[in-house]
A and B are shown apart, each in its own frame.
Chain A
Amino acid sequence: MNKLIITVATVAAISLAPAMANKKATETTPDEDLKAYQDYFLKRFNNEVPLNDFQNGVYAVDKVSRENWEAIEEFPPYEPFIDEGEEMWNTPFANGKSYKDCFPDGPALRGKYPYWDADRKMVMTLPLALNECREANGEKPLKYKKGPIASLLAYIGYESRGQVTNVTVPEGDADALAAYDAGKNFYFARRGQLNFSCAHCHFESSGMNVRSDVLSPALGHTTGWPVYRSKWGELGTLHRRFDGCNRQVRAKAFPAQGEEYRNLEYFLTHMSNGIEYNGPSARK
């Protein structure tokens, strides 16, 4: 029934996820988590999916949906938005300055985020940094889930393709570790009326079906943003998807770019260290 390229490995691998969650957050280091997390998924898919291929989500593990995706990628629906984003990047603000003044290294920025800002004691993400640039120059901040921010992120994502995920939790920084752990606990905590954690679907049931949808593995979840979802008929950001996923299990969604989702993004992106960024991308 499952038209998977890969049949999903069971038993030994599955025990890892609860093990990660049940341990007190301070018992395993981010490095240890990273190894356990990635080994889990490599084994789950029988070592037939190379690490970097997880950047394509469900399409790395399901043949049927991959066929649809390949047809759609022949003329990717996100392309016009890359152009829009480029225009935004190159258009000066009312005060004459532009994004280039905030980010002199240019639009290939994706690989720098998210990171722990030790001075401000918070996780800094790319959309947040872009809006802080706007506000510092007298411009209104953009909404975080869709619209112009997504187009700008599409341009930045496109220019950054090939950069490798490398999120670090600075050693000895207890606050950074606390933020990382908050993200990790969020990921493994049950929530909502359906009482699922992110891990229930994206670890234990990854590669398996929810009706006719194949659940994508958590590994690689952060590389392809922003995403043109056929369902949305437009681009959306990572935090838009967090919001949607929380609502789908009938849980309260948190504000986009609020502390909860930024910490979640910090943890989640760290877990994809070593995988190339490939935004923007298309999904159903």
Chain B
Amino acid sequence: MQTDIKRRVFLKGSVASGAVAAAVGAGLLTPQMVLAEWNKAAFESKTVEDAVKNLGLEGGEESADINIKAPDIAENGAVVPVTVDVSMDGVENIAFIVKENPSPLVATFSMGEGGVPFARTNIKMGKTSDVIAMVTAGGKTYMAKKEVKVTIGGCGG
């Protein structure tokens, strides 16, 4: 029963913060799950710095434990396959940031119970840019980056 309520409130998507706060207060939502609010400020930030700040992150120590797999040259900037794989313990979140995009923050992935710090999706890139992975683990922030070249096609591309 309690699980169902947790699910229902979460699945509503953009839940008004009042309802979420009340649910947290009533013990129906654990703080970890209060990621229900889509972080508009972060996703609409126009620079990497603002996006990172609006995600509530500080620092970003480069780490070799974060592996970014993406093509060196993207065949089509509209569909660039990116995989981030982290070999650290206690990973809470992984953020995909494209430095040269008009809105650099593209995606965040949050680990729930049993979640493995691995995420793959296809992203849009407007031009050649660093693809940055920011990872929070054990309360600290780490990062890695990889340059992906985006070229202009010639054949109606």
Asked whether the complex places CB atoms of A and B closer than 8 A, the reply is yes
Residues of A within 8 A of B (CB): 3, 64-65, 67-69, 71-72, 74, 201, 209-213, 215, 230-231, 233, 244-245, 247-248, 284
Closest chain-B Cβ to A215's Cβ sits at a distance in Å of 7
Closest chain-A Cβ to B149's Cβ sits at a distance in Å of 9
Quick check: B76 and A230 within 8 Å, CB to CB? yes
Quick check: B156 and A244 within 8 Å, CB to CB? yes
Quick check: A212 and B78 within 8 Å, CB to CB? no
Is residue B33 within 8 Å, beta carbon to beta carbon, of the partner chain?
no
Complex CA distance for A65 and B155, rounded to whole angstroms: 14
Residue of B nearest to A248 (CB): B156
Residue of A nearest to B77 (CB): A230
Closest chain-B Cβ to A94's Cβ sits at a distance in Å of 37
Quick check: A68 and B154 within 8 Å, CB to CB? no
* Stretch from B20-28, B66-74, B94-102, B107-115 that touches the partner: B66-74
Q: Please, what's the 1-or-0 string for B63-90, where 1 marks a CB less than 8 Å from any CB in chain A?
A: 0000000011111101111000000000
Complex CA distance for A284 and B75, rounded to whole angstroms: 7
Q: Can you list 8 contacts pairing A with B, beta carbon distance less than 8 Å?
A: A71-B71, A72-B122, A211-B152, A212-B73, A212-B157, A230-B78, A231-B157, A284-B157
Quick check: B156 and A69 within 8 Å, CB to CB? no
Q: Residue A212 contacts which of B80, B154, B156 (CB distance < 8 angstroms)?
A: B154
Closest chain-B Cβ to A283's Cβ sits at a distance in Å of 9
Residue of A nearest to B149 (CB): A212
Given the complex, which residues of B lie within 8 Å of A244, measured CB to CB? Answer: 156
Q: By the criterion of a CB under 8 Å from any partner CB, how many residues of chain B are at the interface?
A: 18
Given the complex, which residues of B lie within 8 Å of A215, measured CB to CB? Answer: 155
Closest chain-A Cβ to B38's Cβ sits at a distance in Å of 23
Quick check: A68 and B71 within 8 Å, CB to CB? yes
A-B CB contacts (within 8 Å), total count: 61
Q: Please, what's the 1-or-0 string for B8-45, where 1 marks a CB less than 8 Å from any CB in chain A?
A: 00000000000000000000000000000000000000
Given the complex, which residues of B lie within 8 Å of A201, measured CB to CB? Answer: 155
Quick check: A64 and B73 within 8 Å, CB to CB? yes
Complex CA distance for A3 and B152, rounded to whole angstroms: 16
Given the complex, which residues of B lie within 8 Å of A71, measured CB to CB? Answer: 71, 81
Residue of A nearest to B122 (CB): A72
Closest chain-B Cβ to A232's Cβ sits at a distance in Å of 10
Contacting residues of chain B (121-157) with chain A, CB-CB under 8 angstroms: 122, 151-157
Report if A68-B81 is in contact (Cβ < 8 Å); known contacts: A230-B76, A284-B75.
yes
Closest chain-A Cβ to B99's Cβ sits at a distance in Å of 20
Closest chain-A Cβ to B39's Cβ sits at a distance in Å of 26
Quick check: B71 and A64 within 8 Å, CB to CB? yes
Report if A213-B71 is in contact (Cβ < 8 Å); known contacts: A71-B81, A230-B78.
no
Quick check: B75 and A231 within 8 Å, CB to CB? no
Besides A72-B79, A74-B81, A231-B157, 10 other A-B contacts (C-beta < 8 A): A64-B71, A65-B75, A67-B71, A71-B71, A211-B151, A230-B79, A231-B76, A231-B78, A248-B156, A284-B157
Residue of A nearest to B151 (CB): A212
- Ranked nearest first, the 10 interchain pairs of A and B with the lowest CB-CB distance are A210-B154, A211-B154, A212-B151, A71-B81, A68-B75, A230-B79, A284-B76, A230-B76, A213-B153, A284-B75
Complex CA distance for A68 and B74, rounded to whole angstroms: 7
Quick check: A212 and B76 within 8 Å, CB to CB? no
Quick check: A210 and B155 within 8 Å, CB to CB? yes
Quick check: B75 and A69 within 8 Å, CB to CB? yes
Given the complex, which residues of B lie within 8 Å of A284, measured CB to CB? Answer: 75-76, 79, 153, 157
Given the complex, which residues of A lie within 8 Å of B153, measured CB to CB? Answer: 210-213, 284
Given the complex, which residues of B lie within 8 Å of A231, measured CB to CB? Answer: 76, 78, 156-157
Complex CA distance for A78 and B71, rounded to whole angstroms: 21
Closest chain-B Cβ to A70's Cβ sits at a distance in Å of 9
Complex CA distance for A260 and B4, rounded to whole angstroms: 60
Complex CA distance for A71 and B78, rounded to whole angstroms: 14
Given the complex, which residues of B lie within 8 Å of A69, measured CB to CB? Answer: 75
Complex CA distance for A3 and B72, rounded to whole angstroms: 12
Q: Residue A64 contacts which of B72, B81, B152, B155 (CB distance < 8 angstroms)?
A: B72
